[in-house]
A and B are shown apart, each in its own frame.
Chain A
Amino acid sequence: MQAKRVTFPGKITPYLLLLPQVAVTLVFFVWPAGEALVSSLFAQDAFGLGSTFVGLANFAALLRDPAYLEAVGVSFLFAFCVTVLAMGLGLLFAAAADALGKAAGLYQVLLVWPYAVAPAVAGVLWLFMFDPSVGMIARALRTMGLSWNHMLDGGQALTLVILAAAWKQVSYNFLFFYAGLRAIPQGALEAAALDGAGPFQRFRHIVLPLLAPTTFFLLVVNLTYAFFDTFGIIHATTGGGPGRATTILVYKVFRDGFEGLDLGGSSAQSVVLLVIVVALTALQFRHIEHKVSY
């Protein structure tokens, strides 16, 4: 890791400057993460009075637990749908805005604002539109012959949280795709146009390859978002139900830990999630390394 060529002398000053950040990090990040690691290796007795070392038994139990495996499945399905929907729409809107040039300004404001909405609030907005008794979309679906009740139908509940989560994330993808498209050299596109390439061919053979780094970056960000930042959406709308239809992994950690008071199991789940975060972050950093050198 490089430093400045010119530095200040001082033995204590740098430590004092680092102190607040390091203190918060140790107390609220390292200590709890350590506790999670440790308690993932212990089993709590029924009264919470003592605990026994069980090694990796908590992890083995997870793999045998159908509820956990179901949550894994739900998480992947959810993350896949949110990512595809949010990235597809983001790219579509960005391509259209790019074609308009300066005239896209107003659209940009109209498309970007949902980024500022809290996931929980986004969930509540969509919950209202799909409310079986008063929601306008639920009513419209009923007149078309489809009875909507996400409180009873698991598939419908999952559709609802996917829509809310993707809606909020389109803005983000739009911004990054739009910036990526703006950065594509016009010369290459003009040359291709002169050679007789139609808009679709130009998009397929020039724009898409040049957008690949942005796409990859967004893929990682969207997966991280779908896995970890959507807790509010799920908690405020479906509460993981009906049954376990919308219980994604993050929600299950919360449910088992706070409602089920299963410390060992919940910690083991945390550790699994931690591994997923580390993997996603590592992917992201490999990408960043190409852009800037630390």
Chain B
Amino acid sequence: MAGTSRLSLLFAHLVLIAGAAVMMLPLYVAFVASTYAGADFLSGRVGLLPGPHLVENYRLALTTGSSTAGIPPVGPMLWNSLVVAVVIAAGKISISILSAFAICYFRFPLRVPAFWLIFMTLMLPVEVRILPTFEVAARLDLLNSYAGLTVPLIASATATFLFRQVFMTIPDELTEAAIIDGAGPLRFFWSILLPLSRTNIAALFVILFLYGWNQYLWPLLVTTDASYFTVVMGIRRLVGAAAEADPVWHLVMATAILALVPPVLVIAALQRLFVRGLTETEK
């Protein structure tokens, strides 16, 4: 900002230090908690610095869980989350880019109705139509399967709009040149449109990966078989166990860290793409 004095710079630093501290606090507390033994919590031995049980706790959480507290191991849940997040992101991108291509580059009678049909999905978040969607999934025999975890969430109006906007900025001359050179629609799509939308696809992938990884309600409904649990929905079982007599907060916090580190790493590594994808999908 113009005319900022030294005092106001100092003030800005103080505000941001306080802000960063508040934002980091839950993460730090969870990390510290994940390095103590279960019994340390009740006896008040958990302090402000990490304890000695880090490796042991994470190994336990990842591989065996706690059978006494009914806690499944986190390793397979992380794998399920990865599969679900990648399939949802890749699926949303592929079906949206194809439909955007159809809507932009062809003239056909049902073009406008198709556009509005896709537009409607924007208004129907899964939270709003949970029960009937669950019934549809059950009728199609999709419960306890990767297909059930992913396909119902794959339609995306936002991604279609985004690709449509990208395509509208591509000059018609390019299409004309391609047609003169004898390229059919699929050739044009593959050799020109896809390469030109590469960064948009990457940016969108980051956002949609987070969306898929962080799904909670839908996996909770369609899975009853523990081998299909994702880590974000599975964590609730641990909380239930932690509230019981058995003090397992150390395992719950280790699981929470394991559940949040992959998406946070994706954002940290691809921050530029993430911000770009976010502003483009929303605005």
Contact = CB atoms under 8 A, between A and B. Distances in A.
Interface string A164-192: 00010011100110010000001001101
A124 B267 contact: no
Contact of A21 (B20, B23, B95): B95
Nearest to A99: B12
Contacts, number: 310
A118 to B, nearest CB: 4
Interface string A100-135: 100010010111111111111110111111010110
A243 to B, nearest CB: 18
Interface stretch (B25-33, B58-66, B70-78, B197-205): B25-33
B175 A14 contact: no
Given A118-B260, A121-B259, A24 B12 contact: no
A80 B270 CA distance: 32
A1 B160 CA distance: 14
B61 to A, nearest CB: 14
Given A129-B26, A250-B127, A236 B185 contact: no
B135 A199 contact: no
B29 A129 contact: yes
A3 B135 contact: no
Contact of A6 (B22, B179, B260): B179
Given A8-B185, A35-B135, A99-B8, A24 B151 contact: yes
A60 interface: no
A254 interface: yes
B210 interface: yes
A86 to B, nearest CB: 12
B216 A17 contact: no
Given A28-B155, A124-B239, A14 B2 contact: no
A202 B268 CA distance: 34
B102 A17 contact: yes
Query: Is chain B's interface secondary structure helix, strand, loop, or mixed overall?
Result: helix
A6 B13 CA distance: 54
A7 interface: yes
Interface string A2-17: 1111111011011101
A29 interface: yes
Interface string B116-138: 01101111110111111101110
A258 interface: yes
Given A39-B132, A199-B1, A291-B283, A22 B114 contact: yes
Nearest to B154: A24
Contact of B9 (A100, A217, A266): A100
Could you say which of B23, B27, B96, B98 has the most chain A C-beta atoms within 10 Å of its C-beta?
B23
A31 interface: yes
B282 interface: yes
Interface residues on A, range: 35 or more
Contacts of B105: 3-4, 7-8
A217 B29 contact: no
A292 interface: yes
A268 to B, nearest CB: 12
A267 interface: yes
A190 B2 CA distance: 6
Given A113-B268, A117-B260, A231-B127, A1 B115 contact: yes
A35 B125 contact: no
A18 interface: yes
Could you say which of A96, A114, A119, A229 has the most chain B C-beta atoms within 10 Å of its C-beta?
A96
A271 to B, nearest CB: 9
B131 A270 contact: yes
A100 B167 CA distance: 37
A72 interface: no
23 contacts: A4-B167, A7-B106, A8-B105, A21-B98, A22-B114, A28-B133, A92-B19, A96-B12, A97-B16, A117-B214, A117-B260, A121-B232, A125-B256, A129-B29, A186-B2, A221-B282, A228-B127, A231-B127, A250-B127, A253-B127, A258-B221, A274-B124, A277-B128
Query: 6 tightest A-B contacts by CB?
Result: A32-B132, A118-B214, A232-B216, A17-B102, A14-B106, A35-B132
